[in-house]
A and B are shown apart, each in its own frame.
Chain A
Amino acid sequence: VAGKGGTGKSTIAGALALIASRAGKRVLCIDIDAKGDLAGTLGSPPVGFQPKVVQPNVSVLALQPEESLQEYLHIYFKVPRFARLTPLARVFDFIATGVPGAREMLVIGKIAFEEKRRDRDGSPAWDLIVVDAAATGHVLPQLRAARAMLELVRGGIIRSQVEWIDAILSDPRRTLLTICALPEEMPVVEALELHDRARRETRISVGACFLNRVIPVALTPKQRRVLELLGDPVHAEALGRRIGGDVLGVVEGARLAQRLHDNGLQHAKRLRAGMSAPVLEVPLQVETRPGLATTRAVAAALREAAG
């Protein structure tokens, strides 16, 4: 789940996890953004690198490249965990920080590793992995990392590992990119740019686009005419006395809502025109803070939007 910062990625990711878990799937949510709060959208305090069950059938982990590296070295080279201060760990630390694609690779690699994780009986540990991606600027390097790595690394065992990671990412039956947007200019521009570049520069498929915080007050032309009639001060005043209250105030507010809706509509149109995947609308929630209640409401809206 990717998209511009502030478009509600974490809440959408949380909602997808709730929907899948309700369908009986075992879901792992991975929070890539160190400052993100995916666990919070599922009603849990922040989590660490070890998956933590936060809802029935839903686990969350927060991905740190450093810990991912330690896990990797532990699994493949039997390097003890927490061996950070040895010169070796520092070399890899540097490589992870400095080498283009290495940090991204550790992120993508961990996700791919979880995808391949099997239970003792050989069945997949997770039916669905939902990744709350980093802001747009970092997502493409992450998605491109495997390809880029294949160009830089000409030998070594990393190459074969990167090859299977690339295979997982390129298979639309296993991996889909979804993009979050808002019905505003810049979020739509960024969503379309991410969509186009993902299609051009990576082999990952775009599965869906979530248009979040749509103002859900589309009045029909007939209803708009009623609104205009109500805006006549004579009618408004008489009605105000009969139903109680200030009808002109209502008309003014409803007109503003309508204008905001119409302005969003033109951005939504552009988004739909440029998006190869279905665009699902999520209505604006008057939430106080992101949290489980908001996530549940968004999940319900998504179920409705998807039919």
Chain B
Amino acid sequence: MNGEAVDLAARLDDREVIICAGSGGVGKTTISAALGIAIVASHAKRVLVLTVDPARRLATALGLESMGIEPVTVPKARLKRALGAAPKGELVAAMLDMKSTWDRLVERLAPDRQAAERIFRNPFYQGMSDAFAGSHEYMAMEALHELHTAHEYDVLIIDTPPSRNALDFLEAPTRLSDFVGARLLSWLAGPTRVGFRAMGFAAQPFMRMADRLLGSDMLEDLSVFVRDLQGLYGGVQRQAREVYRLLRAPGTAFVVVTTLEPAPFAEAEFFCSKLHEFSMPLRALVVNRVLPEHLRDTGAVAAATAMVENGKAAAVISEELGQKVGAEAVRHIGDAFLLLSRLAERDSRQVGRLGGLGRVPVARLPLIDHDISDLEGLSLMAAGLRGQGPE
């Protein structure tokens, strides 16, 4: 793979917020953790890596196996062993907890304690985070904002939740504020059941129909819930504005992670164009799981093709090795090479399109043929992000 190595850690270490985005399955979580290691390796910063849904091995590597929500400091001695040198900074890892983030949001924004309690008790609230599409995205934003305001860390790294379309993440703040603020809410929140009757002629048939459809108990519950939610509206709107300000702040960097596979790459292209449209700062690209260049070597492709297609190859190989080698074995070995070779060929066609994603530094990380399960593996990736990785 050509192109000079870039030190992403050096380009991003002065940021306060780093958001790793990209479609699911491209290795965002692993890369956020590796980026955290890359920064603390060379900078005296306190870095928090906030992950949404880590793989078990990764969680174990970071010391998060208890799966609690309390942030865990990665022991310096362990990091030193993995890096081969003492880290200058401190790395803390934490997992995002949806339910408690929702609860804290309601507590903070509700006009009073009683209103908050009523919301918690309402049957509709129980399933609320399930019902509100994009709530994962919103909660990630909410947690980010909360942590940023608390100023406990120099750098916050967050991987966006694995959503089909990373865009949900950008639109999450308005989605919640639209949801809580829908004009309809005021319509429904206004009257109690007595009020419905007083609402006049126009509304009555609708309420009768709602009654028939849902039964009156549910309508009552709903009306109370809606009224309580409305008390949150002002706060939610303010919050959404602040989150957007944070996402556009000069201290914020978006890092888009992708592989060269067609589908994730197309998503990355789309996401980069949206960041541009929303004036949100794309600062770097990470291309993960790049297949080794030697797979496209013409000499190797020629030999593999001969092994698959040349009927005499097996005989020649048997003679050279001094033992009988079946034609099938020879064909299988050639096929194994050619499969990866075709994948590498396909991927290389995307490389030319990288420039179209934005004029930002690009880090390429090689495909690793095993799962990352310890700090040593993460440190190797971190070295890759600092431009020091082996090809």
Contacts and interface: CB of A to CB of B under 8 A. Distances in A.
B184 interface: yes
A166 interface: no
A122 interface: no
A240 B205 CA distance: 85
A142 to B, nearest CB: 10
Interface in A142-170: 148, 152-159
B300 interface: yes
B303 A246 contact: yes
A137 B179 CA distance: 20
A229 B322 CA distance: 10
Nearest to B337: A253
Contacts of A98: 124, 131-132, 179, 182, 226
Contact of B212 (A35, A157, A226): A157
Which applies to chain A's interface (DSSP): helix, strand, loop or mixed?
helix
Interface stretch (B4-12, B312-320, B353-361, B380-388): B312-320
Contacts of B23: 5-6
B40 interface: no
A245 B163 contact: no
A239 to B, nearest CB: 5
A106 to B, nearest CB: 12
Interface bracket on A: 35 or more
A95 B222 contact: yes
B127 interface: yes
A36 to B, nearest CB: 8
Interface string B182-220: 111101100000000000001101100111111111100
Given A87-B202, A152-B123, A185-B57, A94 B304 contact: no
Given A5-B163, A103-B131, A246 B297 contact: yes
A90 B189 CA distance: 13
Interface string A66-92: 000000000001000000000110110
Nearest to A79: B209
Contact of A182 (B25, B132, B164): B25
B348 to A, nearest CB: 13
A244 B25 CA distance: 39
B61 to A, nearest CB: 12
A135 B164 contact: yes
Given A5-B164, A6-B24, A154 B335 contact: no
Contacts of B299: 240, 245-246, 249
B371 A263 contact: yes
Contact of B307 (A5, A186, A243): A243
B78 interface: no
Contacts of A240: 299, 303
A123 B343 CA distance: 47
Interface string A216-254: 110110110011011000010011101111111111111
Contacts of B24: 4-6, 135
A256 interface: yes
A215 B163 CA distance: 25
A73 B203 CA distance: 17
A182 B55 CA distance: 14
A259 B370 contact: yes
A284 B46 CA distance: 42
B68 interface: no
A227 B335 CA distance: 12
A88 B313 CA distance: 76
Contacts of B205: 88
A256 B295 CA distance: 10
Contact of B370 (A88, A247, A263): A263
Given A4-B25, A91-B210, A216 B131 contact: no
A5 B264 CA distance: 11
Contacts of A4: 24-25, 162
Contact of B182 (A97, A137, A187): A97
Interface centre among B209, B211, B302, B303 (most CB of A within 10 A): B303
A222 B323 CA distance: 12
A196 interface: no
A286 B345 CA distance: 10
A256 B328 CA distance: 19
A223 B57 CA distance: 32
Contacts of B303: 239-240, 243-247, 249-250
A90 B337 contact: no
Contact of A185 (B56, B136, B339): B56
Contacts of A284: 339, 343
Given A226-B325, A244-B302, A259-B370, A253 B336 contact: yes
A141 B206 contact: no
Interface centre among B185, B329, B341 (most CB of A within 10 A): B329
Given A243-B303, A245-B300, A250 B334 contact: yes
B162 A5 contact: yes
A105 B334 CA distance: 52
Interface in A4-29: 4-7
Interface centre among A91, A93, A101, A248 (most CB of B within 10 A): A91
Interface stretch (A50-58, A171-179, A287-295, A296-304): A287-295
A208 interface: no
Given A100-B130, A245-B299, A223 B321 contact: no
Given A6-B264, A95-B222, A185-B55, A230 B306 contact: no
Interface string B37-62: 00000000000000001011100000
Given A94-B188, A153-B215, A253-B300, 9 more contacts: A5-B162, A90-B187, A156-B214, A219-B329, A243-B307, A245-B305, A252-B294, A253-B304, A263-B369
17 contacts: A6-B263, A6-B264, A98-B226, A100-B126, A103-B131, A148-B127, A155-B215, A155-B217, A156-B212, A189-B56, A246-B297, A249-B337, A250-B307, A250-B334, A254-B337, A259-B369, A290-B262
7 smallest A-B Cβ distances: which pairs? A249-B300, A245-B303, A100-B127, A155-B215, A246-B299, A245-B302, A156-B215
Interface of A: 4-7, 33, 35-36, 77, 87-88, 90-91, 93-95, 97-104, 135, 137-138, 141, 148, 152-159, 182, 184-187, 189, 215-217, 219-220, 222-223, 226-227, 229-230, 235, 238-240, 242-254, 256-260, 263, 284, 286-290
